[in-house]
Structure 1
C-alpha cells in the first residue's frame, strides 16, 4: 500500500511545485495524471504477477523457476516500457486535445508527458523490480527504494523547475531522474 501511495506522490509533488508556474502548468500536470496512473497500473499488475509467481516457486524451493520468472518479468517490463512510448508519443498531443484542454495547456502537457513517456521503462521497471523483491520476501527494501525515489523527486522538483529554469519540463526531468535512481537501487 505504501509503495502505491508513493507512486502517486511523484505526480502530486510535480503538481505542487509546478503550481508556482501558473494554472496552465498545473492543469498540464493534471492532464497527464490519468495516463501516468494507467502506466503504473499496468506495471503494478505485472509486478504483482511476478511477485506471486516468485513466492510460489520459493515456497517450492525451485531456485531455477524463481530466476526464470524474474528474468521473464524484467523482459516483459522492458517490452512494456518500450511499447508505451511507441504507442503514446505520436498521439499524445491529440489525446490531450480530445480531453478538452486549451492549446496552451496541451503544449505544456505534451512537453511534460514526452519526457515521462520516453522514460516509461523506469516506472515499469520500478514496479516490476518492486514485485520481484516483494516475492522474495524483501518488502521493506522494496518500499524503501520507492520512498527514497519519491523523496528525491520532492527535493529535485524545485531545483529543476526554478533553479535550473526548466519549468514544467524540469518537473518531468526530476521525476525521471528520481525513478532512474530508484531503478538502480532496485536493480542492485
Structure 2
C-alpha cells in the first residue's frame, strides 16, 4: 500500500510540474490509473521466463524447426518510458524436448513487460529458450515501432527497428538461418 501511495504522489507531482492541476475533475483518479497501468506494463519483473517455459516441456522425436510467428507485444522504452509496439518471431530446433506453443508468447511477454531496449529483449528471449529448452538452436527476430522515435526526437512515423538473436545451428548453419528467415517472411501482409 505504501508503494502505491508513493507512486501516486509522484504522479501528482509530475502533473503539477507540467502545469496541470491534479485536483481537477479529469485528473483526480489519474494517479491510481497510472499506477495500475504501470504495474500491468511491468509485471514481467515478477515472472521467471524459465519457469514459464519449464512448466510445459515435453519429450519429442521432432527434430525439425518449430516457428511461432507474429507474436504481438507491447513494452516500454527504458530511456523514455514510452511504448514499444511490435512483433516477435521465435524458432527453435528441438533436441529431445518441445515446449508448449503458448509458452513462447507468454515468455516473450515476460521480457516485454519490463523496461527494455529492443536489442536486449531479443537476446533475452533467445537465451531463455536455449537455457531452458536446450534445443539445437534458436532464432529470434523482433520488429518494432518505438514511440520515443515517433512521438519525440526525430519524429519519424512508422519507422521499424529489426533486431535478431541467433543461437546454435541458427548461427552456425547458413541453410538453417535461411529457412528461418524464409518462414518468418512468408505471407507477411499484416502491419502493426
More helix by percentage: 1
Please state which band the TM-score falls in when normalised by the shorter chain. Answer: under 0.3
More strand by percentage: 2
The structure having more radius of gyration, on CA atoms, is: 2
Superposition TM-score, scaled by structure 2 size: 0.27
Structure scoring higher RCO (CA < 8 A, sep ≥ 6) equals: 1
